[in-house]
Structure 1
Amino acid sequence: MLKFTIPVDSGNLAARNGRMEKAIESIIDATNAEAAYFTMIDGERGGYIFFEESDQAQLIHLTESLMAALDAAIEIVPALSLDDLKRGMPN
Structure 2
Amino acid sequence: MRVLLKACMDTEKANEAIRNGTLGKMLQESMEQIRPEAAYFTTDHGRRTAYMVFDMEDSAQMPVIAEPFFLQLDAEITYTPVMNAEDVQRGLAQLGR
Q: What's the TM-score, normalizing by structure 2?
A: 0.88
Corresponding position of 1:35: 38
Q: Name the counterpart of 1:83.
A: 86
Alignment partner, residue 8 of structure 1: 11
Whether contact under 8 Å (1:2, 1:50) holds in the other structure is yes
Letter in 1 for 2:89: K
1:53 partner letter: M
**Native 8 Å contact 2:7 2:49 kept in 1:** yes
* Structure 2 SS opposite 1:77: strand
Q: Which runs of 5+ in 1 are unaligned?
A: none
CA separation in 1, counterparts of 2:29 and 2:75?
A: 14
| Greater C-alpha Rg | 2
Does structure 1 residue 45 correspond to structure 2 residue 48?
Answer: yes
- How far apart, in 2, do the equivalents of 1:47 and 1:63 lie? 12
In structure 2, what is the Cα distance between the partners aligned to 1:53 and 1:66?
Answer: 17
CA deviation vs aligned residue, 1:28-69 (integer Å, no higher than 9, x gap): 110011110000110011110010112110111000122112
1:49 and 1:18 map into 2 onto residues whose CA distance is: 21
Aligned structure 1 segments of 4 or more residues deviating by more than 2 angstroms? none
Distance 1:18 1:85 in 2: 41
Q: Is the 8 A contact 2:11 2:48 kept in 1?
A: yes
Q: TM-score, normalized by length of structure 1?
A: 0.93
Identity %: 33
The answer for unaligned runs of 5 or more in structure 2 is none
Q: CA RMSD in A?
A: 1.0
